[in-house]
Structure 1
Amino acid sequence: MKINKLRQLPRLLAFAAVAEKGSFTRAAEVLGVTKSAVSQQISLLEEELGIRVLNRTTRGVSLTALGESLLSQCQLLQDQTNRIFTDVVNAGANPQGRFAVTFPHAFESNIVIPAIEQLCLEFPGLEPELIVSDKALDIVSNNLDVAIYSGELPDSSYRALPIGAMTEIFCATPLYLHRAASPVTPESLGEHRWLATSWQQQKMPIWHVDCNKSDVIQLNPFARANTLACALKMALRHMGVVLLADVVAKPYLKTGELVHIAHRISGPHWPVYTLHAYHGEKPVHLTRFHQLVSRFFMAL
């Protein structure tokens, strides 16, 4: 006799409830179903097992000898089921294990690292794995929990939570500007040493702040770097002009290490999101991570 074991699991749990409560009615109340549904489950169990597990009388129900033997095993099944759901609930409230996040270099020092530090204080069971990359990484194929993404969203099934927006601005050190001995205006930017990243093009789209219109200017790269961090380090060594996201530039502008130049124009303007692949309710630590990232982003 071939038995569909998965189909029997709810029937065994229904049997255990009837045996413990001594009544189909009280078992139905505990299980949150109708009395007839419980009765049907027990009948199907007995039919497929080929044994009678309950004696039914007008005064109630009692266990057969085989039913008594089966009950102890079903109670173990009940305990295991309860333990599984307890673990799931606790995992939601107290998440543990790997939490993999990818994000561009621009968000590393002043946004993601402080957010992760606070997140681990609140959820000490987490084991963060940070993948810093200026190239967008796919969440599923790279086995990631969340990605911080800047730019227009890709056409995908991922869920996006808005963080804010950032604008690229032109910056240089006071010493470079002194050495250059010429004013940095929108018209003269092409004459200055430009420290470009690999994704920035010579024909740079810009926005005229004062007249609220877009344009394109020609820039001449003096040096190129494949990461924003490298371009920034060259700029801090007075090697030229760099186009930085404002979230990256602000701490250096506050200390005076960099100066915002060519105020009348800005580079591209990018929306910023937290991306995740959950279609139902998000894990509590992912929601909290998004909140923290948004807070540190807005504080810059």
Structure 2
Amino acid sequence: MAIPFERIPGLMLFARVARSGSFSAAAQALGLSRSAVSKQVAAFEAQIGGRLIQRTTRKLVLTELGEEILREAQRVEAALEAIEGLSAEHAQHVRGKLRVSCSATAGRELLVPLLPEFHRRYPELELELGLEDRFVDLVAERVDVAIRIGHLPDSSLVARRLGELAWALVASPDYLARHGTPKRPEDLVGHACLFYSNGKHRLDNWGFVVGGEVQRYPVQGPLVINDASALVSAAIGGMGVLLIDQALVRAPVAAGLLTPLLPNFPPAPGFPVYAVYPAREHLPARTQAFVDYLIERFAPLLGDA
């Protein structure tokens, strides 16, 4: 016998009464009055179209229909318990597939080096990473988490701040030997500068803290690229001065391939970095684990620990 969904509350109440052996015991267990329980069972009997309980002064006796309905109730209760168990396991166990989106450069230089440890923590999780410099619609493309750089527009997405990019101004020793070393930010106007542009954003207006205030200086140069790693390679090759995320030039600076410039004029604060994901009432454990891991490990890489 199939029980329509809207009758399940009445079915569960009837099953409680049948197991308790009396309306009074069921009412006490549920925190209801005896008359309220009796009326609700009577309403359920009316929905079913038959009497389920023979009421006597001493005890309740199930009718033949009542016995059959009780068996259905037990199956429904078992199914609900199984669903509850699956839901709890889903919420607590980190496994399954997690789809992540990140810009190509940030993914290669910052995110991918963090993944081996994350995999060791959660070996049952399969990570699908998309490295692409385009706007990704998380909901339409079924992406669980995206790492985004810059100020976010208002949206229904949840955003967790991971830190802030810290800029570094660098040039190769070869370039500086040929063109001289800038002493103040305004000297950059006369230098070949390398900068990023992706068609929508052109980062050719560099900011530095001068006298406690941020001053901006328009720059020009021989090369504009839409890939930050390529800009670093060009700077190492001696093409010009570069203002870039310091995480991308730590290794070349340590190796002597690039030289930090203008130590007395720190660059203006960089862009904020966020982990964003669709708002959900019950966030899957795999998403929560990944976001928590990013919060733990990303900020030190950005110089914003």
Instruction: Give the TM-score category using the shorter length.
Output: 0.7 to 0.9
Deviations 1:53-89 (A, max 9, x none): 2222232322110111222222111111111111010
CA distance in 1, matches of 2:157, 2:49: 49
| 1:211-230 matched pairs, under 5 angstroms | 211-230=211-230
Provide the C-alpha distance between the structure 2 equivalents of 1:173 and 1:34, rounded to a whole number of angstroms. 84
Q: Give the direction of change, closer, same or farther, for the CA distance of 1:267–1:133 in structure 2 (3 Å limit).
A: farther
Whole-Å separation in 1 of the counterparts to 2:53 and 2:296: 61
The residue identity in structure 2 corresponding to 1:244 is I
Unaligned segments of structure 1, at least 5 residues: none
Residue 233 of structure 1: CA displacement?
3.2
Secondary structure of the residue aligned to 2:143 is: coil
Task: Say if 1:299 and 1:12 are closer, same or farther in 2 by CA, change over 3 A.
Answer: same
Match of 1:291 in 2: 292
- Give CA-to-partner distance per residue, 1:226-268, whole Å, 9 cap, x none: 2223323333444333321123333443344432223324155
Residues 81 and 227 of structure 1: CA distance in aligned 2, closer, same or farther (over 3 Å)? same
2:182 to 184, 193, 196: 184
Q: Please provide the CA RMSD for this pair.
A: 2.9
Q: Deviations over 1:139-171 (max 9, x none)?
A: 223322122222222111222222222232222
State the number of aligned residues. Answer: 296
- Report the more deviating stretch, 76-85 or 271-280: 271-280
How does 1:106-125 map onto structure 2 within 5 Å? 106-109=105-108, 111-125=110-124
Give the Cα separation in 2 of the matches to 1:73 and 1:275.
44
- Check 1:240–1:11 CA distance in 2 against 1; reply closer, same or farther (3 A cut): same
Percent identity for Structure 1 against Structure 2: 28
TM-score by length of 1: 0.84
SS at 1:230 equivalent: helix
Q: Is the 8 A contact 1:94 1:125 kept in 2?
A: no
Q: Which secondary structure state, in structure 2, belongs to the residue aligned with residue 288 of structure 1? A: helix
- Cα pair 1:202 1:218 within 8 Å, conserved: no
Query: Aligned partner of 2:245: which letter?
Result: A
Tell me the residue number matched to 1:153: 152
**Once the 2 structures are TM-superposed, how far is the Cα of residue 32 of structure 1 from its aligned partner?**
6.5
- Give TM-score, length-normalised by structure 2: 0.83
* Cα contact 2:91–2:283 (8 A) shared by 1: no
Kindly tell me: are residues 80 and 262 of structure 1, through their superposed partners in 2, closer, same or farther at Cα, counting changes over 3 Å?
same
- Which 10-residue stretch deviates more, 44-53 or 185-194? 185-194
Given that 2:148 and 2:273 are in contact with CA atoms closer than 8 Å, whether structure 1 keeps it comes out as yes
For residues 169 and 298 of structure 1, the distance between their equivalents in structure 2, rounded to whole angstroms, comes to 16
| Change over 3 Å in CA distance of 1:202–1:46 after alignment to 2 | closer
Q: Would the aligned equivalents of 1:202 and 1:221 in 2 still touch at CA under 8 Å?
A: no
Correspondence for 2:56: 57
Matched, 1:44 2:43: yes
97-106 or 27-36: bigger deviation: 27-36
Counterpart in the other structure of 1:196? 195
Partners in 1 of 2:152 and 2:98 — Cα distance?
A: 23
- Compute the displacement of 1:90 (Å): 0.3
**Secondary structure at the residue paired with 1:47?**
helix
> 5 Å matches for 1:52-91?
52-91=51-90
Deviation of 1:124 after TM superposition, in Å, equals 3.1
Report the residue type matching 2:51 in the other structure: R
What amino acid maps onto 1:272 in structure 2?
A: V
- Counterpart secondary structure, 2:299: helix
Aligned with 1:141: secondary structure? coil
